[in-house]
Amino acid sequence: MTAKFGVAIIGCGFIGQKRAGTLGSRGRLLACADPEKERADSVARRYGGAGFADWAEALATPGVQVVIVATRHDALAEITAAAIRAGKHVLVEKPAGRNPDEVFPLLELAAAHGVKVHVGFNHRYHRAFRKAREIVDGGAIGELMFLRARYGHGGRPGYDREWRADPVLSGGGELIDQGPHLIDLAGWFLGHFAEVQGFAHTYYWDMPVDDNGFMILRTAAKQVAFLHASCTEWKNLFSFELYGRQGKLEVTGLGGSYGTERLTHYHMLPEMGPPETTSWEYPMADDSWVAELQEFLDDIELDRAPAAGLDAAIAALVIVQQIYKASGYDHHA
Amino acid sequence: MTAKFGVAIIGCGFIGQKRAGTLGSRGRLLACADPEKERADSVARRYGGAGFADWAEALATPGVQVVIVATRHDALAEITAAAIRAGKHVLVEKPAGRNPDEVFPLLELAAAHGVKVHVGFNHRYHRAFRKAREIVDGGAIGELMFLRARYGHGGRPGYDREWRADPVLSGGGELIDQGPHLIDLAGWFLGHFAEVQGFAHTYYWDMPVDDNGFMILRTAAKQVAFLHASCTEWKNLFSFELYGRQGKLEVTGLGGSYGTERLTHYHMLPEMGPPETTSWEYPMADDSWVAELQEFLDDIELDRAPAAGLDAAIAALVIVQQIYKASGYDHHA
Amino acid sequence: MTAKFGVAIIGCGFIGQKRAGTLGSRGRLLACADPEKERADSVARRYGGAGFADWAEALATPGVQVVIVATRHDALAEITAAAIRAGKHVLVEKPAGRNPDEVFPLLELAAAHGVKVHVGFNHRYHRAFRKAREIVDGGAIGELMFLRARYGHGGRPGYDREWRADPVLSGGGELIDQGPHLIDLAGWFLGHFAEVQGFAHTYYWDMPVDDNGFMILRTAAKQVAFLHASCTEWKNLFSFELYGRQGKLEVTGLGGSYGTERLTHYHMLPEMGPPETTSWEYPMADDSWVAELQEFLDDIELDRAPAAGLDAAIAALVIVQQIYKASGYDHHA
Amino acid sequence: MTAKFGVAIIGCGFIGQKRAGTLGSRGRLLACADPEKERADSVARRYGGAGFADWAEALATPGVQVVIVATRHDALAEITAAAIRAGKHVLVEKPAGRNPDEVFPLLELAAAHGVKVHVGFNHRYHRAFRKAREIVDGGAIGELMFLRARYGHGGRPGYDREWRADPVLSGGGELIDQGPHLIDLAGWFLGHFAEVQGFAHTYYWDMPVDDNGFMILRTAAKQVAFLHASCTEWKNLFSFELYGRQGKLEVTGLGGSYGTERLTHYHMLPEMGPPETTSWEYPMADDSWVAELQEFLDDIELDRAPAAGLDAAIAALVIVQQIYKASGYDHHA
């Protein structure tokens, strides 16, 4: 039997806490850190290990093999770099940094230290997306043509006073927050985007970062990803529609306030006309975080490249940066 | 009591026949024309007047005051010009021509002859859109920020052998077919689009015109219209989502294979969170065609400028042409 | 290769015409009859054979092996009896007669003449019900507990002046019109109903027959069918919900004005809570009529008892009669 | 300004706690009681007053004018009687007792002591039902004909080991648990039920009380309430459909696991056919408990008879008892 992986979690907010709950029988929490030390202590009390205010101490805790970096955007790349240098495997939350320049050096660094880095694009691991991927890979909807996706929430009173509204901390607004999930999912199905059109703008919230991002991304083969991310989406919404020559898949909902997760498969009939459809609904608890970690631990054990690695994060950040620039945002200065 | 308007219908296909059924008590069909004369005769037998193969004869029929031009795209502008020169008021179907150059001269011509020209953007007259307009004008969703729309159908076997697949007859594919409805509705709510990004491509059908058009249009105030028109939309779909600072409106369905027409109003609550919603469904027969004609006859009687005039058609065609050019289509040569 | 069955259709209204379209490669229409002879002639012109005003002539046409009886209720049993006596196999539309006394003697008659009689409970043959049956038979929802069904339409202006409103012609109202479909489907899944509670009443239409029937039917094992049929169901509705110890099936819609046909399977999870669901939608043309006839022709060829035979019709009529009596209707006098 | 009402809450489980949160500016919590004293103390700490294990002490607390009785069924009537005798106004949760014999004497008792008793049929106070009532009272759906309702949940592991499964404590199963809400809502719209048909049975849970109740209730005017309550409704469901001669109302969802609360109004059109519909969705927090208490405090101040009084509880219990008897349950012995 394999020994448990020693894990440190850096950043004990909502996501860090969620990650702590996913270690299961394969990971043992040895250390966790958060500038608000009480949050670190609380996670440590519940899941084990020691709590620290200083992430460097968590990193230095003996036995740590895997580091989960779940901080604000401004610290993601710096801590990931330190963890790599310390020879740890790293699961870093998307977007992995505030811009591509922060993340790019990590690629070479990880290669040099022989460690693996997975970026937390957990949406790929939702039940509906796992099944969608299977259907696509099985050829049932034929060659992919294009996809459309809409992702958004409506914020909350004071949203523009939170850290995400400060570009120094966040690197940008909605486009760098929910946008990378859309870009990553799109690239997961369609591949590299060679052409980027898009626009980001601040319509509603009183903040110097965007609250909406619109994109038309194109692969070399002209497959389009038509994407919109919004934090003025007054009723929370997730919709991902994928078109092949022989059918369509649609994922809606991500659970909770986004509605029940559902996958619908539209089968084109030989006579065309309205397609026959099959739908699957997943009202049970989201297990994407568990599935994602399991895969990453498998990657480490089997010495496999993580499916969602730093290259995926860089690809998303390059697109985000390009649209920010074209839209008049310069958070990078 | 006002005498009935004398009407000629040129083009007796699906749309021409539908228009014939809308004259009601205010119009009298005096003439109709179609190159397939049997179609003209059939309309004449049912609704009155004489049937002709040659549209010039219909135009010359004594008493004709209003001409409805419902031909293929290649004849729309030419016949409209002739009707204007003959001093007739004209209802010409969208897109009013194959490109802006065909339609532009009609503006001055109509002014010179003192006649009115309405372009058949009938979607504005659907019940759901009439009510949406009222709600917006009443201020209930606040200042408009952006809108999203998706419109598409799945074609039918042999769709790429029909006249719409021949750019000489159609001026282009999906972007000039269903696209102008989306562009017109978007402009009706947001105004003039100062910036155009977009892409059209032929993914599926074996034809030299596009089957999908993607658009990001922006007004000078940065309001975005995020639009997609498709004839590889395997299950027919119409969705139009309009976002204001205080709420959202969504129109889905247009009746028939597009599903029941419905308007939903999302009211933001002071505490934010999920909005209260009100929905209206209109399963009864679509009366947009009747309402549109009534308005045009009112325009004539009251000497008002038609709400959807040649300028709206030109605005749409300019956008279409710009995207075709950027996407490598040159149907204009 | 088997020769085609010679077929006669008696009653050339909506249903008779629909049946004519289902013969396909296995049946040949030799004769059809309708008191409005033009209707018979029209069917004959389209599908072959001779048209008659007098059904006895159709029955006597040489080569006829199978008779489809699709008349008003008052003639169903009489013509079926005559066809049996003539040695024909019979597909008679539900309810097969106006009351059990009319249908009961046909059982023995058919046995005596060695012919097969199928009753047109076509709902069993809808795609959604065929699949539901498979799922139940495969044990996926466990032992059946009870079911609920709602079936209704909203009539149309003058509905109470049509033949269905005259008990001499119809034998009753809604309970004997749409009711037998519900009772038959319920019995198909649950078996014989030993106990009957119910109520029929005329709420809206100006007619001496009921427009609504409510039922609580119980098997000896206490499984309940909770059924409501209505012709004051203002928006057409079909819903059939079947509960097993391990899950639920729901069929909604029957196509057309009843909405898209859909089957949903609710899978209970070990931890209970909201079940995982799978849905299938069938927007294509209803093929129940074709599937039903094919099965009946197979029954004849293979000398099998029809699945939906006279016993099913009698079971439904006994329940209808019992509820009519308890509710103060006496159409049988 | 009116002084605040002094309130005692007896029973500090889920419902008692919820009631404590509704007192707002008009009530002051002086005492609360629960056999598990820690629950009483917890409510007292949060909302004020003193906590007791013995309800008699809460009742005797000086200044108490209104008593809320939110205990298990077996104590509802006894405590209500004591509170009445002590001269308190009482809000007692439905069903107000285990059977009509327990509740009937309270009517006279309350009259004798000049106090008011409201029974906690809170469903009447949901936003969707308040609006439905307005629409009915305004005549928009015309004279009422019948209604259908379905209400159920799927239990949870061990549900049959909870107190509701013990008839000595509960008086019965699902029919006396969720059933009274359905019967009360039905009677609120249709009036007194003169005829009762129904059946209760234990299909799934290992308990001596029913898990499903089916009802056909009839007023003297033959208006039917067709009701089903279930705790084997695998996916939580609430649906209430009310039919008038000119339209239909439907309430679905009650929030939370029952789905978003929604009211739909189907307006019949003069030409009949599919009705135009208007829907209202209420995703915000349920305020029925607040609205109900406010009304009861108004009743006291204005010396009005409570809308949902003991008579409503008795009416429901009489029906429940009758169906239990007919179904072979004798919990009353």
Is A274 near chain B, with CB under 8 Å?
yes
Which of B126, B281, B284, B287 is the best substitution to test chain D (most D C-beta atoms within 10 A)? B281
Our CA-based measurement puts residue D286 at a distance from the nearest CA of chain B, in whole angstroms, of: 12
For an interface test with C, which of D193, D214, D271 has the most C Cβ atoms less than 10 Å from its Cβ?
Answer: D214
**Alpha-carbon gap: C266 to the closest alpha carbon of chain A (Å):** 9
- Minimum distance, in Å, between the CA of residue A1 and any CA atom of chain B: 48
Give the SS3 label for residue A261: strand
Mean pLDDT for chain B overall: 96
pLDDT at B285: 87
Domains and CATH numbers, chain C: 5-122+289-308 (3.40.50.720), 124-285+317-332 (3.30.360.10)
Q: Which residues of A touch C278 (CB under 8 A)?
A: 278-281
**Chain C neighbors of D217, CB-CB under 8 A:** none
- Interface-testing mutation among B212, B226, B231, B249, with chain A (most A C-beta atoms within 10 A): B226
Which residue of chain A is at minimal alpha-carbon distance from B225? Answer: A214
Closest CB to D234 among C146, C201, C248: C248
Residues in chain C: 333
Per-residue burial over A17-41, b = 16 or more CB atoms within 10 Å of its CB, e = otherwise: bebbebbeebbbbbbbbbeeeebbb
N-term to C-term CA, chain B: 51
Residues in B closer than 8 angstroms to D135, CB to CB, are: none
Q: Do the Cβ atoms of D250 and D264 come closer than 8 Å?
A: yes
Structure tokens at C188: 């198909």
Token couple for D153: 């949940």
Q: What gap in Å lies between CA A6 and CA A26, rounded to an integer?
A: 9
Q: Which residue would you say has higher pLDDT here, D200 or B285? A: D200
- C-alpha span between A95 and A106 (Å, rounded): 13
Q: How many residues does chain A have?
A: 333
d(CA C239, CA A100) in angstroms, rounded, equals: 54
Q: How many CB pairs under 8 A join C and D?
A: 103
Q: Are D225 and D147 in contact (CB under 8 A)?
A: yes
C-alpha C57/C-alpha D128 separation (Å) is 61
Provide the β-strand partners of residue B257: none
* Inter-chain touch B277–D281, beta carbons under 8 Å: yes
Please determine, for residue C102, whether its predicted confidence score (pLDDT) is greater than 60: yes
CB atoms C156 and D212 under 8 Å: no
Q: Which of D274, D276, D284 sits opposite B269 (nearest CB)?
A: D284
Q: Nearest by CB to B243, which of A214, A224, A232?
A: A232
- Tell whether A258 is within 8 A of chain B (Cβ): no
Residue D114 has pLDDT above 50, yes or no: yes
pTM of the model: 0.93
Q: What is chain B's length? A: 333
**Which residues of D fall within a CB distance of 8 Å from B260?**
274
pLDDT at B333 over 60: no
In chain A, what residues touch B274 (CB-CB under 8 Å)? Answer: 235-236, 257
Q: Dump pLDDT digits (tens) for D41-72.
A: 999 999 999 999 999 999 999 999 999 999 99
**Which residue among D201, D216, D218 sits closest to C222, beta carbon to beta carbon?**
D201
Which residues of chain D make contact with C236, given a CB cutoff of 8 A? Answer: 274
Q: Is the pLDDT of residue B107 over 70?
A: yes
Chain A from 74 to 103: CB within 8 A of any C CB:
none
The DSSP code for D49 is S
B9, B59, B88, B126: which is closest to B300 by C-alpha? B88
Asked whether the CA dihedral C107, C111, C113, C114 is positive or negative, the reply is positive
Tens-place pLDDT, residues A118-153:
999 999 999 999 999 999 999 999 999 999 999 999
Share of chain C above pLDDT 70, in %: 99
Q: Does A235 touch chain B (CB under 8 A)?
A: yes
Residue D1, pLDDT > 70, answer no
Task: Kindly state whether A197 is in contact with chain B, defined as any CB-CB distance less than 8 angstroms.
Answer: yes
* B95-113 mean pLDDT: 97
Question: Does the pLDDT value for residue D333 go beyond 60?
Answer: no
Q: Is the pLDDT of residue A1 over 50?
A: no
Which residue of chain D has the CA closest to B270? D284
Burial class (CB in 10 A: 0-12, 13-18, 19+), D182: buried
**Chain D interface includes B328 (CB < 8 A):** no
| Shortest CA distance from D265: residue in chain B | B280
Give how far A207 is from chain B: nearest CA, Å. Answer: 15
Say if the Cβ atoms of A277 and B201 lie within 8 Å.
no
| Interface contact flag, A281 C279, Cβ < 8 Å | yes
Tens digit of pLDDT for each residue in C264-323? 999 999 899 999 999 999 998 899 999 999 999 999 999 999 999 999 999 999 999 999
- Look at residue B103 and tell me whether its pLDDT is greater than 50: yes
Give the pLDDT score at C333.
54
**Of D91, D111, D324, whose CA–CA distance to D209 is shortest?**
D324
pLDDT of B325 strictly over 90: yes
Percent of chain C with pLDDT over 90: 96
Residue C324: Cβ within 10 Å count: 25
Among B279, B282, B283, the residue with its CB nearest the CB of D279 is B279
SS3 C259: coil
**Strand A89-93 to strand A66-69: parallel, antiparallel, or no bridges (unpaired)?**
parallel
Contact across the interface for B281 and D278, Cβ inside 8 Å? yes
| Chain mean pLDDT for chain D | 96
Q: Which of C265, C284, C287 to mutate to test the interface with A (most CBs of A within 10 A)?
A: C284
User: Given this model, what pLDDT does residue C63 score?
Assistant: 97
Read off the pLDDT of each residue in A281-310 and give the average, rounded to a whole number: 96
Whether residues A280 and C282 touch (CB distance < 8 A) is answered with no
Between CA A54 and CA A77 the distance in angstroms is: 16
Average pLDDT over residues B155-169: 96
Q: Kindly report, residue by residue over B48-69, the tens digit of the pLDDT.
A: 999 999 999 999 999 999 999 9
Tell me whether strands D224-230 and D237-244 are parallel, antiparallel or unpaired. Answer: unpaired
The Cα of B140 is separated from the nearest Cα of chain D by a number of Å equal to 16
Residues of D in contact with B280 (CB under 8 A): 276-279
Q: With 90 as the cut, is the pLDDT of residue A331 above it?
A: no
Q: With contact defined as beta carbons under 8 Å apart, do A88 and A67 qualify?
A: yes
Stretch C191-205: mean pLDDT? 98
